[in-house]
Structure formats: structure tokens, C-alpha cells
Structure 1
Amino acid sequence: MNMAKKDYYQVLGVIKTANEKEIKKAYKRLAMKYHPDRNQGDKRAESKFKEIKEAYEILTDEQKRAAYDQYGHAAFEQSGMSGGGFSGGFSSSGDFSDIFGDVFGDIFGSGRRQRSSTRGADLQYEMTLTLEEAVYGVSKEIRIPTLDRCIVCNGSGTKAGIKPETCSTCHGVGQVQMRQGFFAVQQSCPSCHGNGFIIKEPCIKCHGHGRVEKYKTLSVKIPKGVNTGDRIRLNGEGEVGENGAPAGNLYVQVNVARHAIFERDGNNLYCEVPINFSVAALGGEIDVPTLDGRVNLKIPAETQTGKIFRMRGKGVRDVRGGIIGDLMCRIFVETPVKLNDRQKLLLQEFGESLNCDSSSRNSPRSKSFLDSVKKFFDDLTK
């Protein structure tokens, strides 16, 4: 006996006399909480979900539940089988629609799903945007290769005018029962592979698959404020499922291209602004770019390289709305190049005037650095 397994009733949080409706309600609540799609990368949640589904599969089957009530987990350890053996293993990545189908199938009169109806595959499209497109939002048309429903057979997979034949092995149920000891094991029908029908005369267009390869053009609306790594989901725009199953989703993966002026960090924008050293020393006003146009920035006297000026509300609005970032202007004092003779002479006179004056007053950082260097070498010679 596997002593590590928990009591199935405790797993679902129900009493042993709970009816099927109470068990389904408990399962739905727990499955939604621990489903891997809502807990991506969480191994504990994945393990918990498998445990929940295993308990649900046993307790909602009349024969299995009776065997469990009488023999406990030992009832499912014969022939090396565990509780999961009844369904061929429990999927940890099933779609949420699978949960709703399991729980509410009987309520809406459709009964339990018996035929195999595999949802179509999800698709992913890489989209590169400019910074402006990402900030303000944009609508873009994309062309993607996909599998779509065959229009000749309308997804049935059979030749026009001919209907699929009901499987003679499972009589259209899609599953067969095999007796093992005192309980029955249900598994997918080996003849029709769970479809419930057999196609003897396949469609000449899709060769019996019900789907054909094609390109389709979609209009994708990109919301304001998206950033690299964001993903936009288009429900039902993935590949069409087989045998009339629902289509998967299309995921548009966003990548924002580098900008010539701005660098984005979250909702803030950074911009390096070069100024000449006379403006840096004396102060002045300059025009700086924003995504909304030019704005005036006052530079105070004695501004140094690396100084950052914040322009509030000139960044990016958060994709979820509300918060707007700022524009951070990082100052860079530029050394002049290609000087003419007069400019060189003026600079030489200016430099000489600095040497004549107190260096600590005009260049306090240089004075501090030179004092530190002098102390360093003096300490070495002691």
C-alpha cells in the first residue's frame, strides 16, 4: 500500500457521504485554484492539481468509489496500477474548458464527453514595434500560417455527401470497458481512437483530417503602454481542432525596437542631453525632445555631467492604465572640437585665469582629487 497517498475525500475537502454534486463543486473550486495555467512554474501547484483530479476521477465513478470505500488505495494497486490508471494518466496542463466540461457537462444535459475532441494547437507570432507604437498603441495586420477548417467537408473529414460511420467496436461512445478483477477500466477505443466514428471515404481536399493549411490575415489591436515581453492573446485564432474541436489561441509576443533618442525602463524614459560647457557653467535654457514634442528645460549654473532632471508625466502610461512614468534627462557636458584660432586663444586665456585663481573655488572636485592623490603617494613613502 502506498502510505504517502492522502485520503481522496480529504483531498477534495468533502465528507464520505458527499453526493456527486457536492464532489463536483469542490473539484471545480480547487481545480481553478491550483490549475497549472494559473500557477505557471509552480511545481507544488501542479502536483496538487494532479492529486485533486485523481481524487475527482475516482469519487465520481460509482464502481471506483465503491471499490475505494471498501479497500482504500489498495483497490487500485493491483497489476501495478494506481488511481490514475483509469484515465490513462492525468493531464497537468489541460485547458480550463476541460474542467468546466467535466463539472458542468451533466448539468446542461450534454452528458460526459465521450469522444476524443482535442483542442487545436496554440500559435505564437513575434511582433516588433517602434517605441511610439508601443507607447500610443496601434492596430496592425498580420499574416499567419495555420490549420483551418476544411470548407469542402466542413471539418468532418469525409467525402461530400457521405457521413462518417459509427464505430462498431465502441458503438459511437469513443471508449471501451475492460474488466479487471472486481472493477472495470475505461479506455479510449482502439478502433476509432476515441472519435466514436470511422472515416472510410476521406475528403479529397483534407484527406480525412478535417483541416487544411492556409494563411489568414488578422487585425491585431496593440494597447497603449505595452513593452518587450508582453503577450497579447487572441482567443480562437490558433489552429482549428480535429473533428470539429475548438480552435487554439494565437499569442502575439511583443518586442519593442531600440529608439534613437529614448531608452525605456518600466514606465520611465531616459534621454541623454548634451550641453556645451558654457551653458553648464553659466546656466541657460535648452529644448529637449519628448514623445509629445519639444519642451523647454532650464539648466542651472554649475551643472555637472551626469546630473539628471526629471520631467514628470512625460514617460509612458502603464499598459494597465493609471500610472504615467517620467522622462529623465541625463546631462552630458560636451568638450568642444574643431576649434578655430580665436576660440583656442580664448580658451587658453580662460584656462590661465583658472590657474591664477583658487582652484578649490572653480574646480572643487579636481582640488579634492589632487589632494587625495597627494596623500596616497605621501603614505606610500612613509
Structure 2
Amino acid sequence: MADLHGDRVSHLLVDARPVDHPTARNRGIGRYTIGLLSGLQQVGAPVVALYETDTEAGVLAAAVPGLALQRWSPAVIRAHTMPGAWYLATQLMLHPIPLDPVPRIITEAGLPVAAVMYDVIPERYPEQYQQRHTARAQVQLRGILTRTLDALLAISQFAADTAAHELRFPAQRIAMIGAGVEGQFMPATADPWPRLREVLHADGRAVVVSVVGSDPRKNTHRLLSAWGKVPAAVRRTHRLVVVGAHDDALLAQWQQWAHAAGVGHDVAFTGGVTDDEMVAVHQVAALAVMPSTEEGFGLPVLEAAACGCLVITSNVSSLPEVLAERAAEFDPYDVAAIAAAIERALNDAAHRDVLWAAAQRAVLRWTWAGTGSAVMSSLAALGPRQRRT
């Protein structure tokens, strides 16, 4: 077997299969994988995207033109097995975990392996995410597999710190690489309202937007309760727009919470939206609110900022890292604090200037090119672990 140790990264083989994974292709790990590959290409990294199906290849070719693509095969892996080559696993944190996040041919070739670390939320909240025996087994399997890897590349410092603790992985072998935002998230160059005709209609009130989900950590209940505590004078000129896919039962629950807060007529629920509608709703919004109690990064914060929208966010988990502005933060467990933060962000002109500056700094700091550069420098600095005996 060739000696694969060395500082320079000669080839980086990236598992690109999540781009068409049924639970990841739309906005999650699949989208992160595309952004990561784009960033690696932008910085001239010696990257090869490994795909399995023609559909995956088509998605990759359209999203990252000119990207080096290779179909998974033992011959391709052997051809790239040389000093300085690495394999980057992108599927390790998918739920449920795939059968082969690190395929056997990678192990047999002796390639050092790094994995993208998104979050360890199932590990941190077993009472919610590990109720079934199969879920517990998945978490245990992920931990065992993670501890065989050479490095973890975390999307935030919070993800890095919690992964080290929950997975018992050496903190000194975890690097923070961040995230970026797709180019379509940008300030409007024309009236965005026509692009929202299928999901939201203008009613003369300004928009306060929040991207939520079904998971309790998205904190939708407290958000709606807080909107009820925003002064009526503010709500007369502003409407809360809750963006997130839902079934009938979840929508009924959200509507019940809104009515209980006395704001049943002051909230619009869009349901699931397209990428372009997501961009447009942030372009029309006067403010975006991210009330989540835990995120691996908090991409909606960055997406809103990139659209020219002011953002306020929870002061817990990874979320303070995105804007790095204390004035933009609130306690997500305190309904009154959320309401006060919303009111101030809408009414205080000087405060809005601070939020605007924070949003612009975030857009400049968090880029896919920066992520690609961080991947390459981190792998070179960490190097493979010493050979195991």
C-alpha cells in the first residue's frame, strides 16, 4: 500500500451522492454539498465529485459547471490513491445514516477520511430523537464510525464543540469550515411581489418573515406567542409570515397557537416554497426572525442577510456565530424578549443601522469560497492520523 501521509492535499474525493438523496436534496445536506463543491472549485482545489447515478451527475453538472465528475467505481478510487489524497464523507450525519457513508473501497485503499459535521442534535436530545430502538442503534453506529475517521470538518464552532463532546472525538482533530450562501440569494433588482403570487399576497402591511419547521427546536410556538405581545400598533402595519412546509395537522396546530396569542389574522402561513419564492419573501421583508433553539449553522440567517433583509436571531447554539452581533440576539426561551427584539428591530432606526451592518459583514465573511479554502487548509494542517495498529 502506498504511503498516503503528507501535508499537501493532492486530490480530494468528495462523496456527492447527497445531491439527490430523498431526505437531503432540497435544502439540507444535499444543498450544502453543492455549495461546498462550488467553493472548492472556486479556490482551485484538486477536487473530484463522486456520483452514483445519472441524475446525480446531471444535478452536479448544472449546479457547478466544469466540476470534475467521476462515477463511483473501485478503478476510480485506485486511480486517485496516492500521497496527499483524501476522501471527504458528506453523508455521515444523514438521518437515517446510509449503508456506506465511507465505502469499503475507501477503507481498503487506505485513504485518510474526513467527514463534514453538520450537527449532533440526535445525540444531544435522545429523549426526542432516539425513542425507537432503530434510531438509538443508528446514533450508536454513527459514533463508532466517526471515531475511526481522521478528521471532522464542522460547519460551525458550536457543531465542532458539541461533536467533540457527544461523539468523544479529539477536539484537536476538528476544524471549523463554515458555510456559504447560493448566488440567487441577493437583494432585489425588480419588484419581488409578482414572484410570490402563489404563496403570499400583498395587503399593505410590511412583512416580518420567519423560516420554521415541524421540529420543536424551531420554536414556532414561542414565536407566535411573541408576535401576540408585539404592540398592536406595530401589528397594524406589519404581518408575520411563517414559511415552512406543513401537513394539515401541523398547520392546524400553528393556527391554534396564533389564535391563542390573539394574532390569528396577523399571521400568514405560506407552506412550502420554491427557492425563488424563498428569495422573494426575504427581499420584500422588513425583518427576518430566527427563533430556533438549536442549529448546526443557521443558514436562513445568512440567506436573509444576503437578500438585504435585516435579521435578529436566538442567542444560543451556532446562531450567534453567523451575525456576530450581540445587538441582533434575543433569548429564544423568553417570549417577552422575542417580542421586544422584534419591536426594536422594526421601530428603532439607529438599531436597524446596526443590524444592517451586521448583515453585510456576515455576507462578506461566510462564502463558499471561504469554506473551500478552509477545507483545504484544515486538511493540510491536520494531516492523517498516525496509522492504527
TM range (shorter): under 0.3
TM-score by length of 1: 0.19
Larger Cα-atom Rg: 1
User: Structure with the greater relative contact order (CA < 8 A, sep ≥ 6): 1 or 2?
Assistant: 2
Q: State the TM-score, normalized to the length of structure 2.
A: 0.19
Could you say which structure has the higher strand fraction? 1
Hey, which of these two has a bigger chunk of helix by percent? 2
